[in-house]
Chain A
């Protein structure tokens, strides 16, 4: 069974600095998708970025980028130029397409951006 591990329950970063959130996963599948979701204090779950396992190029969305290491089963999120609005819980998620389309979520990393 697939598992997703986020080993950093809490992190903090100074405004304008860069921070990296780690995520590792375990799967025997070759084709899958990985996601980072953000949950601000409003509780709304918002997609930050997604990565398709068959793509070697790391996904980037503005200040957010990932370091996808397929062999190491690692999927870290880098936030550049951190802003106060980045303060949120961040969840890493794995999804295997086909079948049940089940998503597996990590336990989350609470990020606080300090002014």
Chain B
């Protein structure tokens, strides 16, 4: 089944404790991205990757890191989480190209930073 898999789905952590949210897709998509969803703000892009070893900042990159060492994986790293990073996080992927590139989303990761 074609899908984007995120882990963990739920996480409660404390301020300053490094964590990684993994994201993996099995569709051979070039494009991958991370979003955070907050009430009243919709989805905002954190980072994106156009292909292996090619990453760039989105609209709200502060406090986050990413890497794209393999085409299928795009982990999101919070080096020193803070309470304002409490949010619902989504990983998504798509093909690049001239067509209407539809994003396929993971199931979301609910993160709480105490």
Q: A83 to B50: give the CA distance in the assembly, Å.
A: 38
Q: Is the CB of B42 within 8 A of A91?
A: yes
Of all chain A residues, which has the CB nearest B31? Answer: A101
Residue contact A97 to B42, C-beta cutoff 8 Å: no
Q: Mark B37-56, 1 if CB is under 8 A from A, else 0.
A: 00011111100101000001
User: Do B50 and A106 have beta carbons less than 8 Å apart?
Assistant: no
Instruction: Give the chain A neighbours of B94 by CB distance below 8 A.
Output: 101
User: In the assembled complex, how far is the CB of residue B36 from the closest CB belonging to chain A, in whole angstroms?
Assistant: 11
Number of B interface residues in the complex (CB < 8 A): 28
Mask of B92-114 contacts with A, CB within 8 angstroms, 1/0: 10101111111101011000000
Nearest chain B CB to A38 CB, angstrom units: 11
Query: Across the interface, do A102 and B31 meet the contact criterion of CB distance under 8 Å?
Result: no
Binding site for B on A (CB under 8 A): 4, 6, 9, 33, 35, 42-45, 47, 50, 52, 91, 95, 97-98, 100-103, 105-108
Q: Can you name 4 extra interface pairs (CB under 8 A) apart from A91-B42, A101-B94?
A: A44-B108, A45-B90, A50-B102, A105-B44
Q: 10 interchain pairs (CB within 8 A)? A: A6-B42, A9-B40, A33-B101, A42-B107, A45-B105, A95-B101, A101-B50, A103-B43, A105-B44, A108-B42
